[in-house]
Amino acid sequence: MCCSTGTASLAGMSESNVAVVPGGTGSVGCCLIPMLIDRGFNVAATYLIPEEVNRLEKTLDLDEDRLILRRVDVSDAEAVGGFFDEVVGRYGKINVMASLVGGWAGGRDVAETSDVRLERMFDLNLRTAWNTTRAAIPHLSEDWARIILMGSRHAIDSPAGQAAYNVAKAGVLTLARSIAVELVDTNTTCNALLPSVINTDATRSALPYADYVNWPQPKDIAEVIDFLASERSKVINGAHLPVWGSALI
Cα distances from 88 to residues 81, 101, 129, 248, in angstroms, run 11, 20, 19, 41
Q: Tens digits of per-residue pLDDT, 58-104? A: 778 767 789 999 999 999 999 999 999 999 999 999 999 999 998 87
DSSP letters, the chain, are ------PPP-TT-SS--EEEETTTTSHHHHHHHHHHHHTT-EEEEEES-HHHHHHHHHH--S-GGGEEEEE--TT-HHHHHHHHHHHHHHHS-BSEEEE-------SB-GGG--HHHHHHHIIIIIIHHHHHHHHHGGGB-SS-EEEEEE--THHHH--TTBHHHHHHHHHHHHHHHHHHHHTTTTTEEEEEEE------HHHHHHSTTS--TTSPPHHHHHHHHHHHTSGGGTT--S-EEE--TT---
> What pLDDT, on the 0 to 100 scale, is given for residue 5?
45
- Domains in the chain with CATH codes: 18-242 (3.40.50.720)
Q: Is the pLDDT of residue 17 over 80?
A: yes
Q: Tens digits of per-residue pLDDT, 19-68? A: 999 999 999 999 999 999 999 999 999 999 888 888 888 778 767 789 99
C-beta separation of 209 from 167 below 8 A? no
Rounded to two decimals, the pTM is: 0.88
Work out the end-to-end distance of the chain between its first and last CA atoms, rounded to an integer number of angstroms: 21
Q: Can you name the residues that pair with 68 across neighbouring β-strands?
A: 44
